[in-house]
Structure 1
């Protein structure tokens, strides 16, 4: 064989092998079948409602049905574990929440590793609202904190160890020297009932849950604990506006995928969710309920998850929060 021909043949084979490898790594024309969106909470809550709005909008962009499947249990670990062990083929995603970030910090054992789940996109968030009885003698967060210091401390209801209200209380205790006695209940609805019955002085709850109680006059709100006012209840000042900038806690929903899901699929899914959150009909519907649609790029959600992990981790360390 002539040396020049041999070199040409070798180059052609090398190119063919490279193309074959690239094709093996690249996803097929995704998606070609329905996609499963696992929600680690019961139906009807803020996380579930955001998941269904995202599924509705993203399915139109992707041209395939997105099926929402509720898998509550274990403080999100049941659903998250299911997704962490799913095939990384772009047909199973997790609707994530703060618990997906914080569980490994407070639980003795975990069925999966944090690295088994990859951030994909932000859906939206429901700011947490600090709630007290309607006739409570304080009207601002500053007055509440001062009143707690002058007494033996206030009872604060949570939905259990590591729940969003628990983190709100943790920041109030460690950053602002609020005297609080944590009272864990099984759910946010039980915590609300405890405040209504004046068995505890306060709790916090997602805006979507809190707003009906505020509009009916059954409860009083002291602060929105996110960085902007709630679109559906703009009269309520944020904790940051009141001088408590470290109090940044929200009930958020994002999307995670099994580790090793192809980046091209992750980017396409992120773009579809972003488009859904920018759809006027969906955005208006969510805002009307007290949920803020976010969307954004995959890189932006990765940054958010990193910052959330650091922020929540600092609260866990400062409070010694552990799920016994």
Structure 2
């Protein structure tokens, strides 16, 4: 009995000590929650570590993949934007051209790159068309958007000495001479779709000649190897101004600021689908959100730099800026649109 009483007294003593110790370690707000065991920072300084509040990205140079040849509108846009964004990133942005497959080679490489933000890809409208043509397994779903920077209409352009000066005359000539050579930037490319849309709307028939990009197609036009190209104003503007080429019309509802005197298909009463390229930046889909945020902010600021705006204006390239989520939504809409158009044109057979 004496042992039991002694044991009971000892237990009560231990519990009393524990209660006293707990009172000293609780916060003084009366809530009864344990107080922070870390000593408070002096002068109220934030003790959050760098990894908790911000990313150290980027710590090395960034590669920007362009899926078409150097010299075309996509390449020019990418290089101008890379230059404008470098000061906002604090590292160099090196542009590399990965051509082939109407853009599929370069975009596939970008989609399969390490999702660390150090490989950025300039994707184009072909990302929305190639899957429906069975020419590429990737879609917008393989990427996370950084932002859209550009949109341009198709400009139907011919040699300056061609025997037609208006779109109406060209269509009449094409009907009388079926099989005119129409260059494009690759089978299933946006310029191929533009040409097919013209055929559908006007009852004409062309022989479509694919090239690895618009620049080689324009070169072929200048050399007399083909008869016409439907490419962006930027890709023919200098030649039009030099008097070696002439643009008959643009495939849009509004005139191009780069060619304000050139009529639109809509003005001429031709019900052609208004197709044209868009361009934007992406990274692989599993790239960390904080890295995407850094890239989005830097390239968005770059797109608003005077040097970039002046370059785009001087070269006839249209500026359209959408942030990452907006660009992803636009890519999905474009994917769905061409998913309907391509079967209608019979290009997926």
TM-score of Structure 1 vs Structure 2, range by shorter chain: 0.7 to 0.9
Alignment of 1:224-235 (within 5 A): 224-235=250-261
Structure 2 match to 1:107: 134
Alignment of 1:7-22 (within 5 A): none
Distance of aligned partners of 1:201 and 1:76 in 2 relative to their CA distance in 1, 3 Å threshold = closer
Equivalent in 122, 138, 150 of residue 124 of structure 1: 150
Distance of aligned partners of 1:242 and 1:32 in 2 relative to their CA distance in 1, 3 Å threshold = farther
Equivalent in 269, 292, 295 of residue 269 of structure 1: 295
How far did 1:50 drift? 0.8
1:58 and 2:67 are equivalent in the alignment: no
| TM-score normalized by the length of structure 2 | 0.75
Structure 1 match to 2:320: 294
How far did 1:221 drift? 0.8
1:75 and 2:102 are equivalent in the alignment: yes
The DSSP-based 3-state class of the residue aligned with 1:296 is strand
Question: 2:140–2:328: 8 Å Cα contact kept in structure 1?
Answer: no
Equivalent in 181, 190, 199 of residue 206 of structure 2: 181
1:309 and 2:335 are equivalent in the alignment: yes
* Bigger-Rg structure (1/2): 2
Give the Cα–Cα distance (whole angstroms) in 2 for the partners of residues 263 and 254 of structure 1.
18
1:88 and 2:110 are equivalent in the alignment: no
Give the Cα–Cα distance (whole angstroms) in 2 for the partners of residues 227 and 298 of structure 1.
26
The DSSP-based 3-state class of the residue aligned with 1:88 is coil
1:215 and 2:219 are equivalent in the alignment: no
Distance of aligned partners of 1:200 and 1:77 in 2 relative to their CA distance in 1, 3 Å threshold = closer
Question: 2:72–2:215: 8 Å Cα contact kept in structure 1?
Answer: no
Question: 1:273–1:295: 8 Å Cα contact kept in structure 2?
Answer: no
- Runs of 5+ in structure 1 lacking a partner? 13-22
How far did 1:25 drift? 9.7
Deviations along 1:122-151, whole A, 9 cap, x unmatched?
Answer: 122443210123244544434433554455
Count how many residue pairs are aligned between Structure 1 and Structure 2: 310
Give the Cα–Cα distance (whole angstroms) in 2 for the partners of residues 134 and 65 of structure 1.
41
Give the Cα–Cα distance (whole angstroms) in 1 for the partners of residues 244 and 209 of structure 2.
22
Distance of aligned partners of 1:316 and 1:143 in 2 relative to their CA distance in 1, 3 Å threshold = same
Give the Cα–Cα distance (whole angstroms) in 2 for the partners of residues 32 and 195 of structure 1.
45
Question: 1:132–1:195: 8 Å Cα contact kept in structure 2?
Answer: yes
Structure 2 match to 1:18: none
Question: 2:101–2:186: 8 Å Cα contact kept in structure 1?
Answer: no
Structure 1 match to 2:11: none
Give the Cα–Cα distance (whole angstroms) in 1 for the partners of residues 52 and 269 of structure 2.
51
Question: 1:41–1:48: 8 Å Cα contact kept in structure 2?
Answer: yes
How far did 1:62 drift? 2.5
1:236 and 2:262 are equivalent in the alignment: yes
Give the Cα–Cα distance (whole angstroms) in 2 for the partners of residues 238 and 266 of structure 1.
38
Question: 1:274–1:297: 8 Å Cα contact kept in structure 2?
Answer: yes
Distance of aligned partners of 1:155 and 1:42 in 2 relative to their CA distance in 1, 3 Å threshold = closer
Distance of aligned partners of 1:66 and 1:180 in 2 relative to their CA distance in 1, 3 Å threshold = same
Aligned-residue RMSD, C-alpha = 3.3
| TM-score normalized by the length of structure 1 | 0.80
How far did 1:212 drift? 2.0
Deviations along 1:138-174, whole A, 9 cap, x unmatched?
Answer: 4443443355445546443333311232111121123
Give the Cα–Cα distance (whole angstroms) in 2 for the partners of residues 157 and 168 of structure 1.
11
